[in-house]
């Protein structure tokens, strides 16, 4: 329990009750780094913090993916096609495009 509290303090920089409430997912990840299957597997605070920091960096790098659908629609709208293709042929694959509404 002492290692868990000290790790929370390191990750949240002076942890308080509100940190636990508003960042329950991060608290769960910290606990998951320490305990698996009801057994404490990791008690090295530095190793736990390193893994949590790596996970936070990954989450930040994936944050840009949330806007991908909007960027895809914008790219399709900005395409300068003289007409909408009706058949798309790629090698042996032939795709018939249904009538689509115009993008404006």
Domain positions in the chain are 1-104
Residue 67: CB partners within 8 Å, gap ≥ 6?
none
Dump pLDDT digits (tens) for 41-65: 888 999 999 999 998 888 887 776 6
For helices 45-62 and 24-34, give the axis angle rounded to 10 degrees: 140
Dump pLDDT digits (tens) for 23-35: 899 999 999 989 9
pTM (2 d.p.)? 0.56
Cα dihedral value 80, 86, 90, 95, nearest 10: 130
CA distance 77 to 56: 34
Q: How many CB atoms lie within 10 A of CB 6?
A: 14
What φ, ψ does residue 96 adopt, rounded to 5°? -90, 125
pLDDT for the residue numbered 60 = 81
pLDDT for the residue numbered 50 = 92
| Cα atoms in the 13 Å half-sphere on the side-chain side of 12 | 22
pLDDT at 69 over 80: no
Dump pLDDT digits (tens) for 70-89: 667 777 677 666 666 677 77
């Amino acid at each position: 329990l002492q290692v868990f509290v000290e790790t929370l303090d390191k990750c949240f920089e002076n942890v308080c009750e509100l940190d636990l409430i508003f960042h329950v997912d991060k608290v769960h990840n910290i606990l998951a780094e320490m305990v698996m299957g009801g057994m404490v597997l990791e008690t090295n605070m530095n190793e736990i913090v390193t893994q949590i920091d790596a996970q936070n960096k990954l989450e930040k790098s994936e944050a840009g993916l949330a806007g991908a659908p909007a960027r895809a629609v914008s790219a399709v709208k900005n395409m300068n096609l003289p007409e909408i293709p009706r058949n798309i042929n790629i090698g042996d694959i032939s795709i018939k495009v249904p009538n689509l509404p115009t993008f404006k």
